[in-house]
Structure 1
Protein backbone atom coordinates (compact mmCIF):
# COMPACT_ATOMS: atom_id res chain seq x y z
CA UNK A 1 0.00 0.00 0.00
CA UNK A 2 2.84 2.41 0.84
CA UNK A 3 4.46 1.69 -2.51
CA UNK A 4 1.18 2.39 -4.28
CA UNK A 5 0.76 5.70 -2.41
CA UNK A 6 4.29 6.74 -3.39
CA UNK A 7 3.67 5.77 -7.01
CA UNK A 8 0.43 7.77 -7.10
CA UNK A 9 2.16 10.88 -5.69
CA UNK A 10 4.93 10.56 -8.28
CA UNK A 11 2.44 10.16 -11.11
CA UNK A 12 0.42 13.23 -10.03
CA UNK A 13 3.62 15.30 -10.12
CA UNK A 14 4.35 13.79 -13.51
CA UNK A 15 0.91 14.89 -14.69
CA UNK A 16 1.56 18.46 -13.59
CA UNK A 17 4.88 18.49 -15.44
CA UNK A 18 3.14 17.16 -18.54
CA UNK A 19 0.39 19.79 -18.43
CA UNK A 20 3.00 22.54 -17.98
CA UNK A 21 5.16 21.70 -20.99
CA UNK A 22 2.08 21.12 -23.11
CA UNK A 23 0.84 24.59 -22.15
CA UNK A 24 4.20 26.05 -23.17
CA UNK A 25 4.00 24.18 -26.46
CA UNK A 26 0.52 25.46 -27.20
CA UNK A 27 1.65 29.01 -26.43
CA UNK A 28 4.67 28.75 -28.78
CA UNK A 29 4.90 30.03 -32.33
CA UNK A 30 6.16 27.18 -34.51
CA UNK A 31 5.12 24.01 -32.67
CA UNK A 32 7.44 21.67 -34.59
CA UNK A 33 10.46 23.90 -34.02
CA UNK A 34 9.62 24.48 -30.36
CA UNK A 35 9.35 20.75 -29.72
CA UNK A 36 12.52 20.06 -31.76
CA UNK A 37 14.55 22.40 -29.56
CA UNK A 38 12.98 20.86 -26.46
CA UNK A 39 14.13 17.40 -27.52
CA UNK A 40 17.69 18.67 -28.03
CA UNK A 41 17.67 20.21 -24.54
CA UNK A 42 16.33 16.97 -23.04
CA UNK A 43 18.97 14.82 -24.74
CA UNK A 44 21.84 17.10 -23.67
CA UNK A 45 20.70 17.21 -20.05
CA UNK A 46 19.86 13.53 -19.53
CA UNK A 47 22.45 11.85 -21.79
CA UNK A 48 25.05 11.37 -18.99
CA UNK A 49 22.49 9.52 -16.89
CA UNK A 50 21.52 7.36 -19.87
CA UNK A 51 25.18 6.49 -20.50
CA UNK A 52 25.48 5.26 -16.90
CA UNK A 53 22.37 3.12 -17.42
CA UNK A 54 24.04 1.45 -20.43
CA UNK A 55 26.04 -0.66 -17.99
CA UNK A 56 22.94 -2.51 -16.77
CA UNK A 57 21.09 -2.68 -20.11
CA UNK A 58 20.22 -6.06 -21.62
CA UNK A 59 20.41 -5.85 -25.41
CA UNK A 60 18.60 -9.04 -26.30
CA UNK A 61 16.85 -8.91 -29.66
CA UNK A 62 13.47 -8.55 -27.95
CA UNK A 63 14.74 -5.52 -26.03
CA UNK A 64 16.21 -3.92 -29.15
CA UNK A 65 12.93 -4.37 -31.02
CA UNK A 66 11.02 -2.81 -28.13
CA UNK A 67 13.38 0.18 -28.04
CA UNK A 68 13.01 0.66 -31.80
CA UNK A 69 9.23 0.43 -31.50
CA UNK A 70 9.24 2.90 -28.63
CA UNK A 71 11.30 5.43 -30.60
CA UNK A 72 9.01 5.08 -33.62
CA UNK A 73 5.76 5.43 -31.68
CA UNK A 74 7.06 8.37 -29.64
CA UNK A 75 8.11 10.05 -32.87
CA UNK A 76 4.62 9.59 -34.28
CA UNK A 77 3.15 10.90 -31.01
CA UNK A 78 5.19 14.12 -30.95
CA UNK A 79 4.36 14.92 -34.57
CA UNK A 80 0.65 14.39 -34.01
CA UNK A 81 0.86 16.44 -30.81
CA UNK A 82 2.33 19.39 -32.68
CA UNK A 83 -0.40 19.16 -35.29
CA UNK A 84 -3.14 18.95 -32.66
CA UNK A 85 -1.96 22.19 -31.07
CA UNK A 86 -1.76 23.88 -34.45
CA UNK A 87 -5.43 23.22 -35.24
CA UNK A 88 -7.00 23.14 -31.76
CA UNK A 89 -7.05 24.85 -28.35
CA UNK A 90 -5.32 23.38 -25.30
CA UNK A 91 -8.62 22.97 -23.45
CA UNK A 92 -10.12 21.29 -26.51
CA UNK A 93 -7.50 18.71 -27.50
CA UNK A 94 -5.68 17.97 -24.23
CA UNK A 95 -8.61 16.29 -22.44
CA UNK A 96 -9.40 14.19 -25.51
CA UNK A 97 -5.88 12.96 -26.12
CA UNK A 98 -5.25 12.30 -22.44
CA UNK A 99 -8.68 10.72 -21.99
CA UNK A 100 -8.21 8.11 -24.69
CA UNK A 101 -5.36 6.40 -22.85
CA UNK A 102 -7.17 5.74 -19.51
CA UNK A 103 -9.88 3.96 -21.46
CA UNK A 104 -7.54 1.79 -23.54
CA UNK A 105 -4.44 1.20 -21.38
CA UNK A 106 -6.20 -0.63 -18.51
CA UNK A 107 -7.92 -2.89 -21.02
CA UNK A 108 -4.60 -3.70 -22.66
CA UNK A 109 -2.86 -4.11 -19.30
CA UNK A 110 -5.51 -6.54 -18.03
CA UNK A 111 -6.07 -8.52 -21.23
CA UNK A 112 -2.48 -8.69 -22.57
CA UNK A 113 -0.22 -8.12 -19.56
CA UNK A 114 -2.46 -10.03 -17.15
CA UNK A 115 -2.47 -7.29 -14.50
CA UNK A 116 -5.39 -7.45 -12.03
CA UNK A 117 -7.76 -4.53 -11.55
CA UNK A 118 -10.42 -4.63 -8.79
CA UNK A 119 -13.94 -3.37 -9.33
CA UNK A 120 -13.07 -0.15 -7.49
CA UNK A 121 -10.38 0.52 -10.07
CA UNK A 122 -12.84 0.06 -12.92
CA UNK A 123 -15.28 2.45 -11.23
CA UNK A 124 -12.51 5.03 -10.82
CA UNK A 125 -11.55 4.69 -14.47
CA UNK A 126 -15.18 5.09 -15.55
CA UNK A 127 -15.50 8.28 -13.46
CA UNK A 128 -12.24 9.70 -14.84
CA UNK A 129 -13.23 8.99 -18.44
CA UNK A 130 -16.68 10.53 -17.86
CA UNK A 131 -15.10 13.69 -16.49
CA UNK A 132 -12.66 13.91 -19.36
CA UNK A 133 -15.43 13.54 -21.92
CA UNK A 134 -17.38 16.26 -20.15
CA UNK A 135 -14.44 18.64 -20.02
CA UNK A 136 -13.82 18.17 -23.73
CA UNK A 137 -17.51 18.31 -24.61
CA UNK A 138 -16.86 14.78 -25.77
CA UNK A 139 -20.49 14.01 -26.42
CA UNK A 140 -20.33 16.41 -29.41
CA UNK A 141 -17.04 15.25 -30.91
CA UNK A 142 -18.24 15.66 -34.50
CA UNK A 143 -18.39 19.41 -33.98
CA UNK A 144 -14.69 19.50 -33.07
CA UNK A 145 -13.48 18.30 -36.49
CA UNK A 146 -9.76 17.90 -37.24
CA UNK A 147 -8.67 18.91 -33.74
CA UNK A 148 -10.59 16.00 -32.19
CA UNK A 149 -9.27 13.59 -34.82
CA UNK A 150 -5.66 14.56 -34.12
CA UNK A 151 -6.28 14.43 -30.38
CA UNK A 152 -7.64 10.88 -30.64
CA UNK A 153 -4.64 9.89 -32.75
CA UNK A 154 -2.36 11.27 -30.03
CA UNK A 155 -4.31 9.30 -27.43
CA UNK A 156 -3.84 6.07 -29.37
CA UNK A 157 -0.12 6.81 -29.64
CA UNK A 158 0.04 7.32 -25.87
CA UNK A 159 -1.65 3.96 -25.36
CA UNK A 160 0.82 2.23 -27.65
CA UNK A 161 3.99 3.73 -26.20
CA UNK A 162 2.82 3.26 -22.62
CA UNK A 163 2.45 -0.49 -23.11
CA UNK A 164 5.65 -0.78 -25.18
CA UNK A 165 7.67 1.18 -22.63
CA UNK A 166 6.32 -0.94 -19.79
CA UNK A 167 7.73 -4.01 -21.56
CA UNK A 168 10.97 -2.24 -22.50
CA UNK A 169 11.72 -1.54 -18.83
CA UNK A 170 12.50 -5.24 -18.44
CA UNK A 171 15.63 -4.64 -20.55
CA UNK A 172 16.75 -1.06 -19.85
CA UNK A 173 16.55 1.53 -17.06
CA UNK A 174 14.14 4.51 -17.32
CA UNK A 175 16.80 7.14 -18.15
CA UNK A 176 18.11 5.15 -21.11
CA UNK A 177 14.60 4.43 -22.36
CA UNK A 178 13.74 8.11 -22.05
CA UNK A 179 16.73 9.11 -24.18
CA UNK A 180 15.69 6.60 -26.82
CA UNK A 181 12.23 8.19 -26.97
CA UNK A 182 13.75 11.67 -27.21
CA UNK A 183 15.91 10.55 -30.12
CA UNK A 184 12.81 9.18 -31.84
CA UNK A 185 11.04 12.48 -31.30
CA UNK A 186 14.00 14.47 -32.61
CA UNK A 187 14.38 12.31 -35.71
CA UNK A 188 10.75 12.73 -36.77
CA UNK A 189 10.55 16.44 -35.91
CA UNK A 190 13.76 17.13 -37.85
CA UNK A 191 11.95 16.28 -41.08
CA UNK A 192 9.70 19.29 -40.54
CA UNK A 193 11.46 21.71 -38.19
CA UNK A 194 14.77 22.01 -40.05
CA UNK A 195 12.99 22.78 -43.32
CA UNK A 196 11.05 25.64 -41.78
CA UNK A 197 12.21 29.22 -41.69
CA UNK A 198 11.33 29.69 -38.06
CA UNK A 199 14.29 28.08 -36.30
CA UNK A 200 16.07 31.26 -35.26
CA UNK A 201 12.90 33.25 -34.59
CA UNK A 202 11.40 30.56 -32.35
CA UNK A 203 14.58 30.32 -30.29
CA UNK A 204 14.84 34.09 -29.86
CA UNK A 205 11.17 34.38 -28.93
CA UNK A 206 10.71 31.36 -26.66
CA UNK A 207 14.15 30.16 -25.54
CA UNK A 208 13.25 30.23 -21.84
CA UNK A 209 10.05 28.28 -22.42
CA UNK A 210 11.96 25.84 -24.63
CA UNK A 211 14.48 25.15 -21.87
CA UNK A 212 11.72 24.66 -19.29
CA UNK A 213 9.84 22.31 -21.61
CA UNK A 214 13.08 20.48 -22.39
CA UNK A 215 13.55 19.78 -18.69
CA UNK A 216 9.95 19.08 -17.68
CA UNK A 217 8.99 16.77 -20.56
CA UNK A 218 11.62 14.08 -19.89
CA UNK A 219 11.47 14.64 -16.12
CA UNK A 220 7.73 14.03 -16.08
CA UNK A 221 8.00 10.86 -18.13
CA UNK A 222 10.95 9.61 -16.07
CA UNK A 223 8.83 10.00 -12.96
CA UNK A 224 6.10 7.94 -14.62
CA UNK A 225 8.56 5.24 -15.67
CA UNK A 226 9.95 4.98 -12.14
CA UNK A 227 6.43 4.77 -10.74
CA UNK A 228 5.75 1.77 -12.99
CA UNK A 229 8.19 -0.18 -10.82
CA UNK A 230 6.00 0.48 -7.75
CA UNK A 231 2.45 -0.17 -8.95
CA UNK A 232 0.54 -1.81 -11.84
CA UNK A 233 0.22 -0.04 -15.19
CA UNK A 234 -3.58 -0.36 -15.12
CA UNK A 235 -3.69 1.89 -12.03
CA UNK A 236 -0.96 4.39 -12.88
CA UNK A 237 -1.85 5.15 -16.50
CA UNK A 238 -5.27 6.66 -15.61
CA UNK A 239 -3.76 8.43 -12.58
CA UNK A 240 -1.40 10.35 -14.85
CA UNK A 241 -4.42 11.98 -16.45
CA UNK A 242 -4.66 14.34 -13.48
CA UNK A 243 -2.72 16.53 -15.90
CA UNK A 244 -6.09 17.22 -17.51
CA UNK A 245 -7.10 19.21 -14.42
CA UNK A 246 -3.84 21.15 -14.40
CA UNK A 247 -4.11 21.85 -18.13
CA UNK A 248 -7.64 23.18 -17.71
CA UNK A 249 -6.51 25.57 -14.99
CA UNK A 250 -3.55 26.70 -17.08
CA UNK A 251 -5.85 27.28 -20.06
CA UNK A 252 -8.10 29.48 -17.92
CA UNK A 253 -5.43 31.47 -16.09
CA UNK A 254 -2.55 31.65 -18.56
CA UNK A 255 -3.96 31.24 -22.05
CA UNK A 256 -7.25 33.03 -21.30
CA UNK A 257 -9.30 30.35 -23.04
CA UNK A 258 -13.01 30.53 -22.43
CA UNK A 259 -14.25 28.03 -19.88
CA UNK A 260 -17.61 27.39 -18.27
CA UNK A 261 -19.02 25.79 -15.14
CA UNK A 262 -19.06 22.48 -17.02
CA UNK A 263 -15.27 22.40 -17.15
CA UNK A 264 -14.94 23.19 -13.45
CA UNK A 265 -17.32 20.40 -12.50
CA UNK A 266 -15.56 18.09 -14.91
CA UNK A 267 -12.28 18.72 -13.10
CA UNK A 268 -13.97 17.82 -9.80
CA UNK A 269 -15.26 14.59 -11.34
CA UNK A 270 -11.82 13.69 -12.66
CA UNK A 271 -10.27 14.29 -9.25
CA UNK A 272 -12.95 12.11 -7.62
CA UNK A 273 -12.15 9.32 -10.05
CA UNK A 274 -8.46 9.62 -9.25
CA UNK A 275 -9.15 9.33 -5.53
CA UNK A 276 -11.36 6.30 -6.14
CA UNK A 277 -8.70 4.66 -8.28
CA UNK A 278 -6.00 5.41 -5.74
CA UNK A 279 -7.95 4.07 -2.77
CA UNK A 280 -9.72 1.08 -4.28
CA UNK A 281 -7.82 0.28 -7.51
Structure 2
Protein backbone atom coordinates (compact mmCIF):
# COMPACT_ATOMS: atom_id res chain seq x y z
CA UNK A 1 0.00 0.00 0.00
CA UNK A 2 1.33 3.47 -0.87
CA UNK A 3 2.09 5.93 1.93
CA UNK A 4 -0.56 8.33 0.63
CA UNK A 5 -3.19 5.60 0.49
CA UNK A 6 -2.33 4.49 4.02
CA UNK A 7 -2.52 8.11 5.23
CA UNK A 8 -5.99 8.53 3.73
CA UNK A 9 -7.29 5.32 5.32
CA UNK A 10 -5.76 6.20 8.72
CA UNK A 11 -7.34 9.66 8.56
CA UNK A 12 -10.65 8.01 7.63
CA UNK A 13 -10.34 5.68 10.62
CA UNK A 14 -9.83 8.66 12.93
CA UNK A 15 -12.87 10.43 11.44
CA UNK A 16 -14.98 7.26 11.75
CA UNK A 17 -13.98 6.75 15.38
CA UNK A 18 -14.71 10.42 16.14
CA UNK A 19 -18.28 10.42 14.83
CA UNK A 20 -18.99 7.04 16.42
CA UNK A 21 -17.77 8.40 19.76
CA UNK A 22 -20.28 11.26 19.59
CA UNK A 23 -23.09 8.91 18.52
CA UNK A 24 -22.37 6.72 21.56
CA UNK A 25 -22.27 9.71 23.87
CA UNK A 26 -25.54 11.16 22.58
CA UNK A 27 -27.25 7.77 22.52
CA UNK A 28 -29.77 8.52 19.78
CA UNK A 29 -31.52 6.29 17.27
CA UNK A 30 -32.76 6.72 13.69
CA UNK A 31 -33.93 10.24 14.49
CA UNK A 32 -30.31 11.19 15.26
CA UNK A 33 -29.17 9.64 11.98
CA UNK A 34 -31.73 11.73 10.08
CA UNK A 35 -30.75 14.88 11.97
CA UNK A 36 -27.02 14.65 11.35
CA UNK A 37 -27.64 13.57 7.75
CA UNK A 38 -29.61 16.78 7.12
CA UNK A 39 -26.83 18.82 8.70
CA UNK A 40 -24.30 16.94 6.52
CA UNK A 41 -26.20 17.83 3.36
CA UNK A 42 -26.16 21.50 4.36
CA UNK A 43 -22.47 21.49 5.32
CA UNK A 44 -21.29 19.69 2.18
CA UNK A 45 -23.64 21.40 -0.28
CA UNK A 46 -21.12 24.13 -1.28
CA UNK A 47 -18.46 21.49 -2.04
CA UNK A 48 -20.93 19.34 -3.96
CA UNK A 49 -22.04 22.31 -6.07
CA UNK A 50 -18.44 23.35 -6.61
CA UNK A 51 -17.56 19.88 -7.90
CA UNK A 52 -20.54 19.83 -10.23
CA UNK A 53 -19.52 23.17 -11.75
CA UNK A 54 -15.73 22.86 -11.87
CA UNK A 55 -15.16 19.14 -12.39
CA UNK A 56 -18.23 18.74 -14.62
CA UNK A 57 -18.35 14.96 -14.11
CA UNK A 58 -20.10 12.88 -16.74
CA UNK A 59 -23.30 11.23 -15.57
CA UNK A 60 -24.33 8.79 -18.23
CA UNK A 61 -26.69 5.85 -17.69
CA UNK A 62 -23.93 3.74 -16.15
CA UNK A 63 -22.86 6.42 -13.67
CA UNK A 64 -26.47 7.13 -12.71
CA UNK A 65 -27.09 3.41 -12.25
CA UNK A 66 -24.10 3.10 -9.93
CA UNK A 67 -25.18 6.15 -7.95
CA UNK A 68 -28.62 4.61 -7.48
CA UNK A 69 -27.15 1.23 -6.63
CA UNK A 70 -24.79 2.71 -4.05
CA UNK A 71 -27.68 4.57 -2.43
CA UNK A 72 -29.76 1.38 -2.22
CA UNK A 73 -26.88 -0.69 -0.82
CA UNK A 74 -26.03 1.86 1.88
CA UNK A 75 -29.69 2.28 2.84
CA UNK A 76 -30.17 -1.47 2.98
CA UNK A 77 -27.10 -1.77 5.21
CA UNK A 78 -28.39 0.85 7.61
CA UNK A 79 -31.90 -0.62 7.80
CA UNK A 80 -30.67 -4.20 8.19
CA UNK A 81 -28.22 -3.21 10.91
CA UNK A 82 -30.89 -1.27 12.81
CA UNK A 83 -33.27 -4.22 12.51
CA UNK A 84 -30.52 -6.57 13.69
CA UNK A 85 -29.90 -4.43 16.77
CA UNK A 86 -33.60 -4.64 17.65
CA UNK A 87 -34.07 -8.37 17.01
CA UNK A 88 -30.61 -9.71 17.82
CA UNK A 89 -27.88 -8.81 20.27
CA UNK A 90 -25.62 -5.82 19.66
CA UNK A 91 -22.64 -7.63 21.19
CA UNK A 92 -22.89 -10.28 18.46
CA UNK A 93 -24.38 -8.45 15.47
CA UNK A 94 -21.72 -5.72 15.50
CA UNK A 95 -18.56 -7.89 15.67
CA UNK A 96 -19.87 -10.36 13.09
CA UNK A 97 -20.73 -7.50 10.71
CA UNK A 98 -17.40 -5.70 11.15
CA UNK A 99 -15.40 -8.92 10.81
CA UNK A 100 -17.19 -10.36 7.77
CA UNK A 101 -17.38 -7.00 5.97
CA UNK A 102 -13.67 -6.72 5.07
CA UNK A 103 -13.44 -10.47 4.48
CA UNK A 104 -16.21 -10.35 1.88
CA UNK A 105 -14.92 -7.07 0.43
CA UNK A 106 -11.58 -8.73 -0.23
CA UNK A 107 -13.22 -11.81 -1.72
CA UNK A 108 -15.48 -9.75 -3.98
CA UNK A 109 -12.53 -7.60 -5.11
CA UNK A 110 -10.60 -10.71 -6.16
CA UNK A 111 -13.64 -12.27 -7.84
CA UNK A 112 -15.17 -9.26 -9.59
CA UNK A 113 -12.45 -6.60 -9.87
CA UNK A 114 -9.60 -8.95 -10.74
CA UNK A 115 -7.44 -7.87 -7.81
CA UNK A 116 -4.66 -10.16 -6.63
CA UNK A 117 -3.91 -11.16 -3.07
CA UNK A 118 -0.52 -12.30 -1.76
CA UNK A 119 0.17 -14.44 1.28
CA UNK A 120 1.22 -11.38 3.30
CA UNK A 121 -1.94 -9.47 2.40
CA UNK A 122 -4.07 -12.49 3.28
CA UNK A 123 -2.32 -12.87 6.65
CA UNK A 124 -2.62 -9.17 7.42
CA UNK A 125 -6.31 -9.07 6.50
CA UNK A 126 -7.02 -12.19 8.55
CA UNK A 127 -5.25 -10.69 11.58
CA UNK A 128 -7.37 -7.53 11.32
CA UNK A 129 -10.60 -9.51 10.96
CA UNK A 130 -9.86 -11.80 13.92
CA UNK A 131 -8.73 -8.83 16.01
CA UNK A 132 -11.91 -6.88 15.24
CA UNK A 133 -14.09 -9.90 16.01
CA UNK A 134 -12.67 -10.42 19.48
CA UNK A 135 -12.02 -6.75 20.24
CA UNK A 136 -15.74 -6.09 19.91
CA UNK A 137 -16.77 -9.03 22.09
CA UNK A 138 -16.33 -12.20 20.04
CA UNK A 139 -18.92 -14.96 19.72
CA UNK A 140 -20.92 -15.27 22.93
CA UNK A 141 -23.15 -18.19 23.70
CA UNK A 142 -25.12 -16.21 26.25
CA UNK A 143 -26.80 -13.89 23.77
CA UNK A 144 -30.56 -14.17 23.63
CA UNK A 145 -30.87 -14.91 19.94
CA UNK A 146 -27.72 -16.44 18.49
CA UNK A 147 -29.17 -17.49 15.13
CA UNK A 148 -30.87 -14.15 14.48
CA UNK A 149 -27.84 -12.18 15.65
CA UNK A 150 -25.39 -14.08 13.47
CA UNK A 151 -27.80 -13.91 10.54
CA UNK A 152 -28.18 -10.15 10.74
CA UNK A 153 -24.44 -9.75 11.33
CA UNK A 154 -23.63 -11.79 8.24
CA UNK A 155 -26.24 -9.88 6.24
CA UNK A 156 -24.74 -6.56 7.29
CA UNK A 157 -21.26 -7.87 6.48
CA UNK A 158 -22.47 -8.95 3.04
CA UNK A 159 -23.77 -5.45 2.39
CA UNK A 160 -20.50 -3.91 3.61
CA UNK A 161 -18.60 -6.12 1.18
CA UNK A 162 -21.04 -5.31 -1.61
CA UNK A 163 -21.08 -1.53 -1.29
CA UNK A 164 -17.30 -1.39 -0.80
CA UNK A 165 -16.59 -3.14 -4.11
CA UNK A 166 -19.50 -1.39 -5.86
CA UNK A 167 -18.28 2.05 -4.75
CA UNK A 168 -14.66 1.19 -5.57
CA UNK A 169 -15.69 0.53 -9.17
CA UNK A 170 -17.79 3.70 -9.22
CA UNK A 171 -14.94 6.01 -8.21
CA UNK A 172 -12.04 4.19 -9.87
CA UNK A 173 -13.51 2.98 -13.17
CA UNK A 174 -16.43 5.37 -13.71
CA UNK A 175 -14.70 8.48 -12.28
CA UNK A 176 -17.62 9.47 -10.05
CA UNK A 177 -16.26 12.02 -7.53
CA UNK A 178 -16.22 10.42 -4.07
CA UNK A 179 -17.90 13.39 -2.42
CA UNK A 180 -20.81 13.30 -4.86
CA UNK A 181 -21.20 9.54 -4.44
CA UNK A 182 -21.50 9.89 -0.67
CA UNK A 183 -23.67 13.02 -0.99
CA UNK A 184 -26.27 11.23 -3.10
CA UNK A 185 -26.35 8.34 -0.62
CA UNK A 186 -26.88 10.76 2.27
CA UNK A 187 -29.78 12.43 0.43
CA UNK A 188 -31.38 9.03 -0.12
CA UNK A 189 -31.03 8.21 3.58
CA UNK A 190 -32.79 11.47 4.47
CA UNK A 191 -35.74 10.68 2.22
CA UNK A 192 -36.12 7.15 3.57
CA UNK A 193 -35.91 8.10 7.25
CA UNK A 194 -38.04 11.26 7.01
CA UNK A 195 -41.37 9.64 8.09
CA UNK A 196 -39.80 8.10 11.19
CA UNK A 197 -37.88 11.25 12.01
CA UNK A 198 -41.00 13.39 11.84
CA UNK A 199 -42.67 11.16 14.41
CA UNK A 200 -39.74 11.85 16.73
CA UNK A 201 -39.54 15.61 16.28
CA UNK A 202 -39.41 16.31 20.01
CA UNK A 203 -36.51 13.90 20.50
CA UNK A 204 -34.64 15.46 17.58
CA UNK A 205 -35.18 18.89 19.07
CA UNK A 206 -33.80 17.58 22.35
CA UNK A 207 -30.70 16.20 20.63
CA UNK A 208 -30.12 19.52 18.89
CA UNK A 209 -30.68 21.52 22.06
CA UNK A 210 -28.46 19.40 24.31
CA UNK A 211 -25.84 18.09 21.89
CA UNK A 212 -25.62 20.61 19.06
CA UNK A 213 -21.83 20.50 18.92
CA UNK A 214 -21.82 16.71 18.87
CA UNK A 215 -24.42 16.59 16.09
CA UNK A 216 -22.37 18.98 13.96
CA UNK A 217 -19.23 16.92 14.62
CA UNK A 218 -21.03 13.75 13.47
CA UNK A 219 -22.39 15.56 10.41
CA UNK A 220 -18.87 16.67 9.49
CA UNK A 221 -16.89 13.51 10.20
CA UNK A 222 -19.43 10.87 9.10
CA UNK A 223 -19.26 11.74 5.39
CA UNK A 224 -15.59 12.71 5.55
CA UNK A 225 -14.62 9.26 6.85
CA UNK A 226 -16.10 7.50 3.84
CA UNK A 227 -15.05 10.17 1.33
CA UNK A 228 -11.43 9.64 2.36
CA UNK A 229 -11.84 5.88 1.94
CA UNK A 230 -13.34 6.39 -1.51
CA UNK A 231 -10.41 8.60 -2.52
CA UNK A 232 -8.03 5.85 -1.41
CA UNK A 233 -9.99 3.31 -3.45
CA UNK A 234 -9.35 5.30 -6.63
CA UNK A 235 -5.72 4.18 -6.68
CA UNK A 236 -5.47 1.54 -3.92
CA UNK A 237 -6.84 -2.02 -4.26
CA UNK A 238 -9.79 -3.01 -2.09
CA UNK A 239 -7.75 -5.90 -0.63
CA UNK A 240 -5.61 -3.28 1.16
CA UNK A 241 -8.23 -0.69 2.02
CA UNK A 242 -11.09 -2.86 3.32
CA UNK A 243 -9.19 -4.47 6.21
CA UNK A 244 -7.10 -1.39 7.05
CA UNK A 245 -10.14 0.85 7.53
CA UNK A 246 -11.22 -1.43 10.39
CA UNK A 247 -8.68 0.47 12.50
CA UNK A 248 -11.67 2.73 13.12
CA UNK A 249 -13.22 -0.05 15.20
CA UNK A 250 -10.07 -0.25 17.31
CA UNK A 251 -10.09 3.51 17.90
CA UNK A 252 -13.82 3.53 18.68
CA UNK A 253 -13.59 0.69 21.20
CA UNK A 254 -10.52 2.13 22.93
CA UNK A 255 -12.14 5.57 23.09
CA UNK A 256 -15.25 3.99 24.59
CA UNK A 257 -13.17 2.19 27.20
CA UNK A 258 -11.20 5.29 28.23
CA UNK A 259 -13.47 8.28 27.58
CA UNK A 260 -16.91 6.73 28.13
CA UNK A 261 -15.91 4.46 31.00
CA UNK A 262 -16.94 1.23 29.26
CA UNK A 263 -14.01 -0.64 30.81
CA UNK A 264 -12.47 -3.95 29.63
CA UNK A 265 -9.37 -2.11 28.39
CA UNK A 266 -6.95 -4.77 29.66
CA UNK A 267 -8.82 -7.52 27.79
CA UNK A 268 -9.11 -5.42 24.66
CA UNK A 269 -5.51 -4.25 24.32
CA UNK A 270 -4.06 -7.61 23.13
CA UNK A 271 -6.63 -7.78 20.33
CA UNK A 272 -5.85 -4.16 19.50
CA UNK A 273 -2.26 -5.29 19.07
CA UNK A 274 -3.37 -8.04 16.68
CA UNK A 275 -5.18 -5.45 14.55
CA UNK A 276 -2.16 -3.13 14.49
CA UNK A 277 0.08 -6.04 13.46
CA UNK A 278 -2.34 -6.92 10.65
CA UNK A 279 -2.40 -3.35 9.40
CA UNK A 280 1.42 -3.28 9.48
CA UNK A 281 1.47 -6.36 7.24
CA UNK A 282 -0.98 -4.71 4.84
CA UNK A 283 0.95 -1.43 4.82
CA UNK A 284 4.20 -3.17 3.89
CA UNK A 285 2.67 -5.70 1.52
* Number of residue equivalences: 278
Q: CA deviation at 1:89?
A: 9.0
Aligned to 1:201: 206
Cα drift, residue 63 of structure 1:
1.2
Aligned to 1:13: 11
Instruction: Name the counterpart of 1:269.
Output: 274
* Corresponding residue number in structure 2 for 1:72: 72
Structure 1 partner of 2:242? 237
Whether contact under 8 Å (1:91, 1:257) holds in the other structure is no
- Aligned to 1:178, which of 182, 189, 196? 182
Note closer, same or farther for the CA distance 1:67–1:118 as it changes in structure 2 (3 Å cut). same
2-structure distance, mates of 1:90, 1:256:
18
Moved more, 102-111 or 192-201: 192-201
**Is the contact made by 1:26 and 1:85 (CA closer than 8 Å) also made in structure 2?**
no
Separation in structure 2 between the aligned mates of residue 150 and residue 28 of structure 1, nearest angstrom: 25
Residue 261 (structure 2) aligns with: 256
| Partner of residue 157 from structure 1, selected from 143, 148, 159 | 159
Unpaired segments ≥5 residues, structure 2: none
**2-side partners of 1:178 and 1:5: how far apart?**
24
- The structure-2 alpha-carbon separation of the partners of 1:120 and 1:29, relative to structure 1 and needing over 3 Å to count, comes to closer
When residues 144 and 279 of structure 1 are mapped into structure 2, their CA distance, relative to the original with a 3 A threshold, is: farther
Q: Tell me which residue corresponds to 1:109.
A: 109
Q: Which moved more, 1:236-245 or 1:143-152?
A: 143-152
Cα 1:141–1:225, aligned 2, differ >3 Å: closer, same or farther? farther
Partner of 2:34: 36
Moved more, 158-167 or 145-154: 145-154
Aligned to 1:126: 126
- In structure 1, the residue corresponding to 2:143 is in which secondary structure? helix
**In structure 2, C-alpha distance between the alignment counterparts of 1:89 and 1:206, rounded to whole Å:** 27
Q: 1:113 to 1:103 in 2, by over 3 A?
A: same
Contact 1:77 1:154 in 2 (8 A): yes
Give the alignment of 1:43-62 within 5 angstroms: 43-54=41-52, 55-62=55-62
TM-superposed deviation, 1:195? 1.7
Give 5+ residue unaligned stretches, structure 1: none
- Structure 1 position 74, deviation (Å): 1.5
Contact 2:16 2:248 in 1 (8 A): yes
CA deviation string 1:102-127 (max 9, x = no partner): 11101000111101121110011111
CA–CA distance in 1 between the matches of 2:61 and 2:11? Answer: 34
- Give me the CA root mean square deviation: 2.4
Q: Residue 112 and residue 144 in structure 1: after superposition, are their counterparts in 2 closer, same or farther (change >3 A)? A: farther
Q: TM-score, normalised by structure 1?
A: 0.89
Structure 1 residues 48 and 88: CA distance shift in structure 2, 3 A = farther
Q: d(CA) in 2 for partners of 1:8 and 1:168?
A: 20
**C-alpha contact 1:91 1:251 (8 A) present in aligned 2:** no
Q: Once structures 1 and 2 are overlaid, which stretch shifts more, 237-246 or 252-261?
A: 252-261
**Distance in 2 of aligned mates of 1:38 and 1:144:** 32
Return the alpha-carbon distance in structure 2 between the equivalents of residues 216 and 93 of structure 1. 24
The C-alpha deviation readout for 1:158-200, integer Å capped at 9, x for no partner, is 2221112112211421111121111122122223212224221
